[in-house]
Structure 1
């Protein structure tokens, strides 16, 4: 949804972020992406060129900033971070990363600094304003030591679908439990993901 270049959020409670008491029954006027006025509803005058959005009962505050997120689109937990992310197709991770970013926006985060490949694309996607999302400050992929956290090159064989040896650690809902540290052969990422 594209919002018109001039709009007013009416009947809102304004929290200015400066420690003052919230100010109920206010209007916030925005023109071309910039707030041009914050005033009590008693001083607000409707204008035919300004699209009004009635938000009675809602709050308006400065956007929050999350300075460290990974919008990688994976479903991994702490026990299988790299494998849980790369074992899924890139397109699935890309779609999931859009949803992750939109969840941030719904929680009041209007800016996010992302460390992932997807952030480079999300930045452009949300800047075009075809989809709602936060402003993304994209760092690209993180730096790592060889074999360290985020060194996905150690999984090159897995990504190309060759037979590799994969260690299965804690059980997950989508594959049966495997004794800790036991290694098994797999023919590709889909088998690893299913736990076969």
Structure 2
């Protein structure tokens, strides 16, 4: 065992022993063999499919059968829920959040901040999230608590952040608290240098529970290609920023990453030179970069060819006056690039509206996407971008992550965020009056 690996494992053990276990709620131990959600209008998660009336049978956490309106139900139904006049969709994703970036806190502080935030997500219909870099020991605890239904929370999948040493040195200067000691030195905040053993670094990230590698900053095109290749060999996703300064978006595309975040940053590819200086690039961005559509189209056509998802974070862009994000996202959609819904925004720690609705509204109002296409992005495409093939669609054999809605979400996206029933892996997480 190398000294680096031993140190990383020791830190994991220490961190896991010092961070709070979430306050436990009594798990729902009721065993229900077959539940029927009867006579609803089903929106299955594919934008081109016409909604249809039917009944969903849930058994052992899965969608065991879908019956059309005129079809007899199977025997052995132990509970029926009349959903006449209601709508059912797959559970929603936020494919770009940061839950555990506030630094190491006391157990009580962590619990008081995290659990109401996660509960609020569930109540608004978000059943899965992709965390794009944070404290892995904290995330692992809450991921497990969510899996065991010990707290009300979405399913959590998270990234390990890989960046160059100079990035972490810069980050440390502004950081406060204990995290200053380990930024760049752990499997989940990993500094990549020319001497880094990429194979070992990715194995350590996987051992820390990461589902993907967040390719972030201060890396060369060669390093991005090596990280992406090795992540795929070890069964992990490669999730990249569009611009991994000094590397351009086209370098991440050539590497074949799984998804790219922040559509505004695609404008940096047209700047002169093989690499881009972060300060110069952002100085030009604030003055306004006029997009070169031929350069942009070349990138986007290659993304579609390689089936790379775009995580545009347009709500974030709209709050920072990054209007090129809308042009890039609209053009990506026109060229057939698959779009996912991620906010990269702060969630309320108590009750309150969630920013995912804001992301969807910008996609509709500024990026040319229909409500059906946005629903597909927030369910099926976001599942695939997270590396998941077991959810995001209403299909027999899929995980029963479902929303029962009072009104048609295709008429108003806001209807998605007021579910009457939220079901996660076949269990009801939030239930309102069905009248």
Other structure's SS at 1:42 match: coil
Aligned to 1:137: 157
Is the aligned partner of 1:55 residue 2:77?
no
- How far apart in 2 are the matches of 1:150 and 1:106? 38
Aligned to 1:66: 94
Is the aligned partner of 1:155 residue 2:177?
yes
Other structure's SS at 1:45 match: coil
Is the aligned partner of 1:119 residue 2:119?
no
Q: CA RMSD in A?
A: 3.4
- How far apart in 1 are the matches of 2:99 and 2:150? 19
Other structure's SS at 2:90 match: coil
Deviation at 1:46, TM superposition (A): 6.1
Aligned to 2:51: 22
Deviation at 1:16, TM superposition (A): 1.1
Greater Cα radius of gyration, structure 1 or 2: 1
Aligned to 1:178: none
Structure 1 unmatched runs, 5+: 73-81, 158-196
Deviation at 1:151, TM superposition (A): 6.5
- How far apart in 2 are the matches of 1:120 and 1:141? 15
Structure 2 unmatched runs, 5+: 1-27, 180-435
Other structure's SS at 1:132 match: coil
- How far apart in 1 are the matches of 2:79 and 2:173? 46
Deviation at 1:149, TM superposition (A): 7.7
Aligned to 1:32: 60
- How far apart in 1 are the matches of 2:78 and 2:173? 48
**Higher-RCO chain (CA-CA 8 Å, sequence separation at least 6):** 2
Q: Are 2:103 and 2:178, in contact at CA under 8 Å, matched by a contact in 1?
A: no
Deviation at 1:112, TM superposition (A): 0.7
1:146 to 158, 169, 176: 169
Other structure's SS at 2:177 match: helix
Deviation at 1:127, TM superposition (A): 0.7
Other structure's SS at 2:128 match: strand
More helix by share: 2
- How far apart in 1 are the matches of 2:97 and 2:88? 24
Other structure's SS at 2:171 match: coil
Residues paired across the two proteins, number: 145
Q: What's the TM-score, normalizing by structure 2?
A: 0.29
Q: What's the TM-score, normalizing by structure 1?
A: 0.58
Deviation at 1:109, TM superposition (A): 2.4
Other structure's SS at 1:102 match: helix
Summarize deviations over 1:59-100 as a string: whole Å, max 9, x none. 21123322221223xxxxxxxxx7xx4597442332331222
Deviation at 1:108, TM superposition (A): 2.8
Aligned to 1:91: 108
Is the aligned partner of 1:109 residue 2:109?
no
More strand by share: 1
- How far apart in 2 are the matches of 1:150 and 1:51? 58
- How far apart in 2 are the matches of 1:56 and 1:10? 7
